Amino acid sequence: MALQVGIVGLPNVGKSTLFNAVSNSAKAQASNYRFCTIEPNVGLVDVPDERLKVLTDLVQPQRVVPTTIEFVDIAGLVKGASKGEGLGNKFLANIREVDAIVHVIRCFEDENILREEGAINPVADKEIIDTELQLKDLESVEKKMQRMEKVVKADPKAKPVLETLSRVKAWLEQGKNIRGMELEGEELEAIADIFLLTQKPVLYVANVDETAIHTGNKYSEALIAAANAERSQVIVMNNSIEAQISEMENEDDKALFLEEYGLKEPGLNRLIRSAYQLLNLITYFTAGVQEVRAWTIHRGWKAPQAASVIHTDFEKGFIKAETIAYNDFVQYKSEAACRENGRLRIEGKEYVVADGDILHFRFNV
């Protein structure tokens, strides 16, 4: 599944530094001037999962393939982007293409790093980007309303769509993001074709200095309070430290570095897992001597849909799914032992795949 998370933020907040840290396939240029990132950089990132290592130790396969997410480093936004200021139009178009947003916000003081917005104020910084996205959404909603007003004259049955658009417009005019609005069923369908930017799920990164890695600071606390109001999560981390950790190839060196800062794991692991959860994704595994592999699917998918991420033929010709729960596999240590102890189940087309399932699909095309 080609799922993308866009990394956004005002210029010089540590956005490209974070991308450098999370990406294992590309390096973004990180410099102290506006619009350093113009074309979005894309990096494929492994999703850290201890279960994959456990299965690998048990099965001893020829190769191991983790599941991944694409992170996109999008150009820094400035006030007025919704009207084309800076690289606004390009920035907003790039956001429209991603599935979720990681919003990096500066929560530290450093007079050597350029800041055009004045004193450090994470809530105000959040609101700058929120406002630009809301204004762009408002523009999209108003354009569709104009079209629907003509449609309703010829077809009164289209009136509920126009009513939904009116509610959405009023919500945006209050300075609120659509992801905080309760919409369902036909209401969601009414706005589905205009791909509203503030409807996308968001995860905030409070980029703090070294002294605040564990405790946070007054800036990160203010951001957390603002994020809680819209039921969003905040990850507190130091992007520069994370970039240093990601460049270390020797695991012993990495462990010593983490120990020096009192960290159990890189903050990036928390970020990547949180982004994965933000998209409402789960992992299932295939495990054999040739390969142990993690596969990404949406929570709630049934077995044939889950099979389709391996190959579309698996869904078309789906017969059954031989299923072992992860905990059972770990307990009995092999597929054969699970089978012998009655822990291998045969599931059909209506089975909803659980996180961590080890699956083997039977199909016929």
- Looking at the DSSP bridge assignments, the partners of residue 284 are 295
Which tokens is 203 given?
């995860």
Q: Any binding-site annotation on 13?
A: yes
Q: Any binding-site annotation on 220?
A: no
- Looking at the DSSP bridge assignments, the partners of residue 46 are 68
Q: Any binding-site annotation on 16?
A: yes
Q: Any binding-site annotation on 177?
A: no
- In the sheet that 318-324 helps form, which strands lie side by side, from edge to edge? 63-65, 291-298, 281-287, 358-363, 318-324, 345-347
Q: Any binding-site annotation on 47?
A: no
Which amino acid is present at 22?
V
DSSP 300-360: T-BHHHHHHTT-HHHHHTEEEEEEE-HHHHHHH-SHHHHHHTT--EEE-TTPBPPTT-EEE
The β-bridge relationship of strands 4-8 and 233-237 is unpaired
Q: Any binding-site annotation on 208?
A: no
Closest listed residue to residue 281, CA positions, set 347, 355, 224, 216: 355
Closest listed residue to residue 243, CA positions, set 1, 24, 7: 24
Binding residues for ATP: 12-17
Binding residues: 12-17
